[in-house]
Amino acid sequence: MDTSREYARACDGADPLSAFAERFDVPGLYMDGNSLGPVSRDAARTLERVREEWRRLAIEGWTDGDPPWFGYAERLGDRVAGLVGAAPEEVVVANATTVNVHALVDTFLDSGTVVVNELDFPSDHYALRAQLRRRGLDPDDHLVVVESRDGRTVEEADMIDALDDDVELLFMPSVLYRSGQLFDVERLTAAAHDHGALAGFDLAHSVGVVDHDLSGAGVDFAVWCHYKYCNAGPGAPAGLYVDERHFGRRPALPGWWGHEKATQFEMDLEFTPAAGAGAYQIGTPPLLSLAPLEGALDVLEAAGIGAVREKSVALTEYLIELVDERLPECSVGTPRESARRGGHVAVEHPDAEAVSAALKRRDVVVDYRPPNVVRVCPSPLYTSFEDVHRAVGRFRTVLDEGYDGVAVDADVT
Ligand SMILES: Cc1ncc(COP(=O)(O)O)c(C=O)c1O
């Protein structure tokens, strides 16, 4: 593969998404969109509109906002459904990702065993262990944690081997947060169903950069956030999906916002759940945190998730080639087959923490994940091939000129 700057410029010249970068305000060479996506003009516009509606309308914003704030989370959910391959009523925007893990696992888990993997994002394990304890079950016995063979990735075959007829739930990420391995959601779901188990997924590292077909795959439920590849802002409300065949279930953590909308303000003390995924909302949506998602979705929909995924695969492939060629001190911890790779690349180096800090001082915004990973994320809506070339050039300079200095703390997401 040609890795020259000229090649990068040629790729940028042929890139159908290149104009989208102008819509974003990006600090430095920003390669951290898998932690927090940057603001776009569009997200700022919808945030400003709701702020102004609050000033002008106050309480009337719930009915007279444009669109009305009442039902806003459901309408945004209808649009997010298009990103994850679901019917509109199967998706809602609500809560935080971890709250949604609790809300859905508490609803769907009876008293059986859950299968997970050891490279998961810790919050999911905290929630699952707590849910098992609430049922009087010892998590050390009932949370089966499949090990990684290489410390980076998890074999799908090992996940499938861990399933037996005592397993009630297989809970997996779509993409591992550290190495960026992408799993075959359909294959894992089918394997869980073969054993009579449910399949739930944490899609935090894929929604907005990988195209999904949750309904087609038969996934039972899923959760994700919108502050990474969807660029909806820090702490933006999360998303959740419940397959329509489960719509009859009663949410385990009901709240008035999940009530059937038409009768919510009758204030009946008996909870009547909304018909679809909206039933899993709990309290009033934080409008000012929700509003940027509307503009952020305008951008993603205009680009098209298929084109976003295509460019992401090309950018990460180019990045991997450059790391191989120009950073021989580093290794790539991310699968090289594009079908097994999400939107970021794990560049491994024994001094990853100091290297990450030195890159940030040179305006290359990456993050460090212990013990040895510099995560580099060329998010497709605002990253060019030339940016990737430039970032790896600065990485080379950091390795050549030294990276001692102030260390940074591991980021929180
Ligand atoms: C894979 C994964 N799951 C869950 C979370 C936690 O999300 P939240 O803070 O919205 O609960 C994160 C946060 O980055 C994550 O990466």
CATH value at residue 335: 3.90.1150.10
Question: Is residue 407 over pLDDT 70?
Answer: no
- Judgement on whether residues 257 and 352 belong to the same structural domain of the protein: no
Among 302, 319, 346, give the residue marking a domain's end: 302
Q: What is the pLDDT of residues 155-165, one digit of tens each?
A: 999 999 999 99
**Domain end: 302, 323, 348, which one?**
302
Distances from the Cα of 54 to the Cα of 66, 70, 199, 289, 353, angstroms: 11, 13, 41, 13, 43
Domain contains 178: yes
User: Is residue 38 very low, low, confident or very high in pLDDT (cuts 50, 70, 90)?
Assistant: very high
* pLDDT single digits (tens) 375-392: 999 999 999 999 999 999
> How do 167-173 and 198-202 pair as beta strands?
parallel
Nearest protein Cα to ligand 1, atom 7: 97
20: annotated active-site residue: no
| Residue 96 Cα: closest atom of ligand 1 | 10
- Residues 74-89 have a mean pLDDT of 98
- Summarised one tens digit per residue, pLDDT across range 292-306 is 999 999 999 999 999
Q: What is the DSSP letter of 253?
A: S
Mean of per-residue pLDDT scores for the chain: 96
The residue with greater pLDDT, 111 or 201, is 201
Does ligand 1 have an atom closer than 6 angstroms to the CB of 173? yes
What's the CA-to-centroid distance between 123 and ligand 1, angstroms? 7
* 369 Cα–ligand 1 center, Å: 14
Sheet holding 113-117, edge to edge: 91-93, 239-242, 221-224, 198-202, 167-173, 113-117, 143-146
pLDDT at 29 over 60: yes
Task: Report pLDDT digits (tens) over 175-232.
Answer: 999 999 999 999 999 999 999 999 999 999 999 999 999 999 999 999 999 999 999 9
Going by C-alpha positions, the residue among 161, 216, 223 that lies closest to residue 185 is 216
Q: Does residue 411 carry a pLDDT above 80?
A: no
Q: 259 with 335, same domain?
A: no
Cα of 36 vs centre of ligand 1, distance in Å, is 11
Domain extent at residue 10? 5-30+304-401
Asked if residue 408 belongs to a domain, the reply is no
How many domains does the structure of the chain reveal? 2
**At residue 328, does pLDDT exceed 80?**
yes
244 and 116 within one domain: yes
Whether residues 284 and 271 share a domain: the answer is: yes
Q: Is residue 75 part of a domain?
A: yes
User: What angle in degrees, to the nearest 10, is found between the helix axes of 385-401 and 5-13?
Assistant: 150
Helices 385-401/352-361 angle, 10° precision: 120
pLDDT for 405 equals 59
Percent of the chain with pLDDT over 90: 96
- Would you state the pLDDT for residue 1? 86
**410: in domain:** no
Question: Ligand 1 in contact with 142 (CB < 6 A)?
Answer: no
pLDDT, residue 408, reads 47
Mark whether 298 is an active-site residue.
Answer: no
CA of 386 to the centre of ligand 1 (A): 30
Which of 206, 225, 230, 282 has most ligand 1 atoms within 8 Å of CB, for mutation?
225
Catalytic residue among 42, 120, 202, 387: 202
Last residue of a domain, one of 280, 302, 324: 302
Is 35 a member of any domain? Answer: no
121 is catalytic: yes
Residues 55 and 189 reside in one and the same domain: yes
| pLDDT of 410 | 46
The single-letter DSSP state of residue 259 is B
Instruction: Kindly state whether residue 38 falls inside one of the protein's structural domains.
Output: no
User: Is residue 92 within a helix (H) or strand (E), and if so which, with residue range?
Assistant: strand 91-93
Residue 413 has pLDDT above 90, yes or no: no
Q: Are 117 and 143 in contact (CB under 8 A)?
A: no
Q: Is the pLDDT of residue 344 over 60?
A: yes
pLDDT digits (tens, 9 = 90+) for 121-171: 999 999 999 999 999 999 999 999 999 999 999 999 999 999 999 999 999
